[in-house]
Structure 1
Amino acid sequence: MNLTVLAASGRTGMALTRLALWRGHTVTAIARDPERIALPDSPNLRKVAGDVNDAAGIGAVVDEGSVVLSGLGTDRAGTLLAGAGARAVVAAGPRRVIWLGAYGTGRSAGVAGEGAGVLAAVLGERLADKVEADDTVLAAGGTVFHAGMLVDGPVSPGRRTVGLAAAPVFDLGAQVSRETVAAAMLDEAETPAFPGVVALPLAQ
């Protein structure tokens, strides 16, 4: 399968790229500085320069017909995190978009308890951007993953993915490894189970 990974030099993007290659996919890895994608050369890996703050530029380097996986985290502001950026990605013509959102925002705020209000205060003006981006991806039939606190570590052996309707209520401090999130997002790319909805990757 032809995959396009956004923010491929970040820790989540790197996990997505590495695991996708291990699973035998062809990957276009996009980062502002492709040299920072610290993975060995492979005939299945193409490193491409692209700035996540430039929605039109990112749209131009997204491979038409590929499945796009966004490894962008919750700590960066930027055009791509807004609806305009998500629309640019969708308009590029990918087969599907699998987007990493933020647990406790938008559609998952109701299952995040009191922590959702705290997160809204932390994100400030970025919150509306993130919700709009999520909604844009979902309207196009993509899947948005809302993960708990991302940490380093291996794929959880007891991992599972649930749709928002079946999500347990858990604290915003609940941890899940980036490798576990990457595995869940790649599962969705390979065998769509949550088109058009928010999914939660859980460690167990």
Structure 2
Amino acid sequence: MKIAVYGATGTIGQRIVNEALTRGHEVTAIVRDTTRVAQSHDNLTVATGDILDSASVAERTAGHDVVVSAFGPKMGEESTLVEATQALIAGVKQAGVGRLISVGGAGSLEVAPGVQVVDTPDFPDAWKPIALAHRDALDVYRHESTLAWTNVSPAALIEPGERTGQYRTGTDQLVVDAEGNSRISAEDFSVAILDEVENPQFSGRRFTAAY
């Protein structure tokens, strides 16, 4: 498959690119600064593009089978996430690409009926702007009915680690292990995303992946 990836230089984006290349896909990493892409592979193309500009999105994603976004705004610019989501949807549709998969946040997952992670007393204030931005972006997706979109929320804790190929999925509830912890490596989160790319199970929905 031909996969276009936004946010390809970030912690999650790099691993999505690596996982896709390992599986034999053709990948286009769309970035603002091509010098930040460390990977080199026969099936990897690096291109410049602006995720906030729907015309740029349309131009760069045309001819791909699926677009994956791991875009994460800078601190203080969290509001651009909704703008990027709107531009992505418009651009992908204009390009005629049928599917869009985006990395979301864990803050909008429920820990009890009607209670989201971001609303719990112990949720760090410093993380609230990005958590709320991801929640708003998810709301944009949920109002989109003509594009096959999928929003993927990570576990509460995601960090670089081991690729085990193992994970569990949920929909709108936080997935926790036997000790009550919610975690996943960035490598296995990327496995979950590529599994969804290859075998869609959550079209038009949000899902979450954790151990």
Is the shorter-chain TM-score for this pair beyond 0.5, marking a shared fold? Answer: yes
1:59 matched to which residue of 2? 58
Are the counterparts in 1 of residues 175 and 209 from structure 2 also a CA contact under 8 Å? no
1:161 counterpart SS class: strand
Question: What residue in structure 2 maps to residue 71 of structure 1?
Answer: 70
Alpha-carbon offset, residue 156 of structure 1 = 3.6
Kindly state the Cα deviation for residue 150 of structure 1 after the two structures are TM-superposed: 2.0
Q: Secondary structure at the match of 1:59?
A: helix
Give the distance between the partners of 1:48 and 1:72, measured in 2 at CA. Answer: 15
Aligned-residue identity in percent:
28
**Does residue 146 of the first structure (1) align with residue 153 of the second (2)?**
yes
2:107 aligned residue (104, 107, 110):
104
The residue type paired with residue 27 of structure 1 is V
**Residue equivalent to 1:3:** 3
Bigger Cα displacement from structure 2, 110-119 vs 20-29: 110-119
Q: Is the 8 A contact 2:57 2:92 kept in 1?
A: no
Contact 2:167 2:188 in 1 (8 A): yes
Aligned-partner residue type, residue 100 of structure 2: V
Cα separation, partners in 2 of 1:137 and 1:181, compared to 1, 3 Å: farther
Counterpart position of 1:188: 196
1:45 aligned partner, one-letter code: L
Q: Aligned AA for 1:17?
A: V
**1:115-130 alignment runs, 5 A limit:** 115-117=117-119, 122-123=128-129, 126=133, 129-130=136-137
Corresponding position of 1:85: 87
- Alpha-carbon deviation of 1:33? 0.8
Tell me, which stretches of 5 or more residues in structure 1 are unaligned? none
SS at match of 1:102: coil
Counterpart residue number, 1:178: 186
The residue identity in structure 1 corresponding to 2:163 is V
Q: Which residue of 2 aligns with 1:26?
A: 26
Local SS of the residue matching 1:30? strand
For 1:123, the aligned partner's letter is: P
Mapping 1:42-57, distance limit 5 Å: 42-57=41-56
Indicate if the aligned counterparts of 1:52 and 1:78 stay in contact, CA closer than 8 A. Answer: no
Query: Measured at CA, do residues 95 and 170 of structure 1 come closer, stay the same or move farther in structure 2, by a change above 3 Å?
Result: same
Moved more, 84-93 or 120-129: 120-129
Aligned-residue Cα RMSD (Å) equals 3.1
Alignment gaps of 5+ in structure 2? none
TM-score by length of 1: 0.80
